[in-house]
Amino acid sequence: MIRFESVTKEFPDGTVAVDALSLTAPTGKITVLVGPSGCGKTTSLRMINRMIEPTGGRILIDDRDTSTIDAAELRRGIGYVIQHAGLFPHRTILANITTVPLLLGWDKARATSHALELMDRVGLPQSFAKRYPSQLSGGQQQRVGVARALAADPPVMLMDEPFSAVDPIVREQLQDEFLRLQEEIGTTIVFVTHDIDEAIKLGDQVAVLRVGGRLAQLAAPEELLSRPVDDFVADFVGRDRGYRTLGFRTAPFPTSSEPTVRLGASAADARGVTDDPWVLVLDDDDHPVGWVERERLDGTVTRDALHRGGTVASTDGPLRQALDAALSAPSGRGVIVGPDGVFVGTVRARDLIEPIEASAARERAASSADASGDEAGEGAGEGIVVAEPKAL
């Protein structure tokens, strides 16, 4: 657990970068710091490992005041990933990853074995071990940076906009890989980003900072989207926050049968084809592979004829996924699959309105119940113990 207690950073010129910041980053969770330029998020991050020294307040890691720990010792126990990976250009990938373990006294065989294991876990082939950073793509270098930060099995990891220097496709892949990895290792992570979508996707809790390093709101992503504390947070989160809230809601919704044709089959074999201009194409395992225009069904159905517009949603996925599938599909019908990826049916956007409204009503009711409970707790008489809320 990392705890900020009224932490302030004032620079010699009088600039206050962080102003009496108090928050807790729970053990094993991802806490994301987000906010506009000049809000002190990177300064706050770098004060944790004392690359910047606070001018007021305390930062504690597992109840130990970091100011009482030797700075070099502190940093060796904290993984650190920055925007451009920060790799040593003259050292191989293996040497980069084993740097801290060797400094900590690990024997070379153990450090090497662990580094190769980490390369597998972050999605890098072990054949890259003898390459140099310049021989890797930007996304691959960031993976090395993550592996190096994890090399000494640190209980804490700091990440300063680690994925912002790569293209959107690679960035999404890195985010997904990072979430998968975090499920396995459960490290306490403080993550800085300027991208609210990244914060919502990655954070177990999100801290929105105002300019001047003041905390505006600390909340779970769903709460941040549905109940911003003020206009500043609402504006920063974005005008489409109602739509993005659907990424955290699930509800049963109806699906309809769909005309389909098998990939590689004759157009004459299409099942249930009507006058609709679009037909869904399935592979031999009943997995959807794309849409085809009915007028192009004049022979064998090939991949060249496929229209891949539209996403695929799962029956157990969030409502946003289903709605996006419906809005993105050229047919206007979202493709729905089961957990095994097998085609189940399709859904139109209009068929999702009732489930969405029902889900929102349940959330409002739960919110009202929580508020009533809080009021009852505040007015509780002597002898009644009110339980503290669970940590995020």
Average pLDDT, the chain: 85
Q: Are 154 and 77 in contact (CB under 8 A)?
A: yes
Q: What is the DSSP letter of 4?
A: E
Dist CA 68 CA 53 (whole Å): 12
Using the CB atoms, write b or e for 286-310: b if 16+ within 10 Å.
eebbbbbebebbeeebeeebbeeeb
> Are 228 and 217 in contact, with CB atoms under 8 Å apart?
yes
Q: Residue 346 and residue 256: Cα distance in Å, rounded? A: 5
Whether residue 35 contacts residue 61, with contact meaning beta carbons closer than 8 Å, is answered with: no
Sign for the pseudo-dihedral over CA of 168, 169, 171, 172: positive
pLDDT digits (tens, 9 = 90+) for 55-70: 999 999 999 999 999 9
- How wide is the angle at C-alpha 73 spanned by C-alphas 71 and 75, nearest 5°? 70
Q: Tell me if 128 sits within 8 A of 119, measured CB to CB.
A: yes
pLDDT at residue number 152: 84
CA 42 to chain centroid, in Å, comes to: 19
> pLDDT for 207-230, tens place per residue?
999 998 999 999 999 889 888 999
Q: Where in the chain is the domain with CATH 3.10.580.10?
A: 260-353
- Residues 159 and 189 sit within 8 Å (Cβ to Cβ): yes
Nearest C-alpha neighbor of 61 from the set 79, 78, 76: 78
Q: Which is the CATH superfamily of the domain at 260-353?
A: CBS-domain (3.10.580.10)
Two structure tokens written together for 276: 């609709």
275-297 residue pLDDT tens: 678 888 898 899 999 888 877 66
* 179 pLDDT more than 80: yes
Q: Kindly indicate the confidence band of residue 187, based on its pLDDT and cuts at 50, 70 and 90.
A: very high
Mean pLDDT to the nearest integer, 79-83: 85
pLDDT surpassing 90 at residue 173 = no
The per-residue b/e assignment along 238-269, b for 16 or more CB within 10 angstroms, e otherwise, is: eeebeebbbbbbbbebebeebbbbbbeeebee
pLDDT the model gives residue 11: 92
Residues 271, 291 contacting (CB under 8 angstroms): no
The topology under which CATH files domain 2-246 is Rossmann fold (3.40.50)
Beta strand pairing call for 16-25 and 56-61: unpaired
What is the distance of C-alpha 56 from the center of its chain? 32
Instruction: Tell me the angle at which helices 353-378 and 319-328 cross, rounded to the nearest 10 degrees.
Output: 150
d(CA 368, CA 294): 50
**329-387 tens-digit pLDDT:** 998 999 999 988 999 999 999 999 888 888 878 777 766 666 566 555 544 443 323 33
Domain limits, CATH 3.40.50.300, in the chain:
2-246
Give me the residues paired with residue 59 across strands: 4
Given a cut of 80, whether residue 274 has pLDDT beyond it is no
> pLDDT digits over 35-61, tens only?
998 899 999 999 999 999 999 999 999
pLDDT band at 204 (very low <50, low <70, confident <90, very high): very high
Q: pTM for the whole thing?
A: 0.76
Residue type, 115: A
**Alpha carbon 51 to chain centroid, angstroms:** 26
| CA of residue 329 relative to chain centroid, distance | 25
